[in-house]
A and B are shown apart, each in its own frame.
Chain A
């Protein structure tokens, strides 16, 4: 009966959201910036092992090292190489003098273990060659399996999606509803024959559209530009959208609770920050909750964005289906239901 009015009450507020700078800034620009940063960071770590060399380049060991995949040799003066070793700009330093070989390492550099492996392998090859063994009794054949290396972007991107959704789900209705109260828009809408709940449903739908649009953009940029891993391609993409919509509905409950109860930003913004900021830090946005001490991990694991992040990482990274992530969605749904129940009792139109 009110379908037409509902569509109108959703579409025009959606158009207004698209023209709103803070929605675009917090919901799209910030998350995309972080995605880009993490995308580039993730690509830069795999630069190979850098080994400084002091000694003749035609030495069998140096030749074996040069032939090793993933090893870059660095020739500089001994003083310069020693300085770079201490700074971690080379991962190992090899001095070759006839049959005498020394390997200097900086143990604070995590790459030094890779440098050790590369040098030991080259020493073994060079020794066999010097001993005249062309057909060694033992040899290793390396077989590569098809798999993937979990890069930081694969962890970070779901966190950025939930951050964008948290921003659209909470801050947008808080700013929005209070703004609409102060400019009397909400009162003017209430004076039309459209029932209040339909007006609010339209407000929520406008933000749901906005949130799904944000997820689409972040996922597409992540997947096409930074190679974000989607376990089962388009199917995973659609499932991610479904999870986003579900999470956003839960977050919107909190947004409508805060924006509905308060009539001025002075009270509402601290309340919104109290809900959002801890989740930004603890809710699995940038790093997993495993890094926290026990009691903090308990708190972190109960946060709605933790549930959403965990579900999204399982879906995107491991190809989990709805059944596998159902427990997380249920917990998220409980958060949302609690918020809507309180919001319905405390909502004020003006």
Chain B
């Protein structure tokens, strides 16, 4: 039971005409972990997520989410997953309260919008529309709606892109909280520091293939074992540490 992966992907392929976006990948996500998919733009991260989310249909391969065949029963998969799309996905003209009621209605679950907003520090934005939010608020709201149907696994597509360091750390804390409550998290990013801080395991994708998969520490050890050495003096702190030390961790939002 414990060993059965929450997400299992086998020989997954996606072709757009003659372009191969995803080139036969296989991996499994363990229950309760934060799993990162890393890679440069165009590596196939978003396409992979959207195939697991049953938004796009694979050209070939198999996908199982919580033991459900995603190609045969996409509607059952949709009910047990939560998703966050890249920085968007909400009616610009509706208030946050309306949007939460809207999605709760589509998932057919009872929800108290005020409690949801309070948990994600958005209670004073209940009557704002989505397009009036700051970048960090948008991502927090997006995370909040991805959890409305109490999913077993959530997929976050580049949730921290464009955020300032404070907002990014705040979102990391929220994602860790979500995991602590038992929800598996699959996240894509191209920030290596974020993957190192947040993820239990990462898959590194390039040109539609997974070229490495392991724990961040394990991958670093693997590289060092090849004789790789950084050609700089080891620093006790980074510039980001300086920035956070000087400006604090508290959120900067209007």
Contact = CB atoms under 8 A, between A and B. Distances in A.
Whether both chains belong to one complex is answered with: yes
Interface of A: 4-5, 7-9, 12-13, 15-16, 19-20, 179-180, 183-185, 187-195, 349-350
Interface of B: 50, 53-55, 75-76, 78-79, 81, 83, 85-86, 88-94, 98-99, 101-103, 105-108
Contacts of A15: 94, 98
A188 B90 contact: yes
Given A8-B102, A20-B93, A183 B83 contact: no
Given A184-B85, A191-B55, A191-B83, A4 B105 contact: yes
B7 to A, nearest CB: 15
A193 B89 contact: no
B86 A192 contact: no
A189 B93 contact: no
A188 B98 contact: no
A73 to B, nearest CB: 60
Nearest to A5: B106
Contact of A195 (B75, B91, B101, B105): B75
B106 A8 contact: yes
Contacts of B106: 5, 8-9, 189, 192-194
Q: Which of B55, B76, B99 has the most CB of A within 10 A?
A: B55
A194 B105 CA distance: 10
Contact of B88 (A185, A191, A194, A195): A185
Given A12-B91, A12-B98, A183-B90, 12 more contacts: A7-B105, A8-B102, A12-B99, A16-B94, A19-B94, A183-B88, A185-B88, A187-B89, A188-B83, A191-B53, A193-B75, A193-B106
A237 B79 CA distance: 45
B55 A190 contact: yes
A245 to B, nearest CB: 24
5 contacts: A5-B105, A9-B106, A16-B91, A179-B92, A191-B78
B89 A183 contact: yes
Nearest to A9: B106
Nearest to A13: B91
A183 B92 contact: yes
A5 B108 contact: yes
Contact of B93 (A16, A184, A192): A16
A13 B55 CA distance: 21
B121 to A, nearest CB: 22
A8 to B, nearest CB: 3
A216 B152 CA distance: 47
Nearest to B105: A8
Contacts of B81: 191
Given A12-B102, A16-B93, A20-B93, A193 B107 contact: yes
Nearest to A195: B75
Given A16-B93, A20-B93, A195-B75, A187 B85 contact: yes
Nearest to A180: B91
A44 to B, nearest CB: 41
Nearest to B107: A192
A19 B129 CA distance: 11
Contacts of A194: 106
Contacts of A179: 92
A167 B108 CA distance: 33
A188 B85 contact: yes
B66 to A, nearest CB: 14
Q: Which 7 A-B pairs have the closest CB atoms?
A: A8-B105, A188-B89, A12-B102, A184-B88, A19-B93, A192-B106, A193-B78
A195 B74 CA distance: 10
Nearest to A182: B88
Contact of B91 (A185, A190, A349): A185
Contacts of A4: 105, 108
A218 B93 CA distance: 25
A12 B94 contact: yes
A188 B86 CA distance: 10
Nearest to B130: A183
A192 B78 contact: yes
Contact of A184 (B54, B76, B89, B99): B89
B50 to A, nearest CB: 8
Contacts of B92: 179, 183
Contact of A185 (B55, B78, B86, B89): B89
Residue in B76, B92, B106, B107 whose Cβ sees the most chain A Cβ within 10 Å: B106
A183 B129 CA distance: 14
Contacts of B53: 191
Contacts of B89: 183-185, 187-188
Nearest to A7: B105
A183 B88 CA distance: 6
Nearest to B142: A188
A350 B83 CA distance: 16
A267 B102 CA distance: 31
Nearest to A189: B106
B87 to A, nearest CB: 8
B107 A187 contact: no
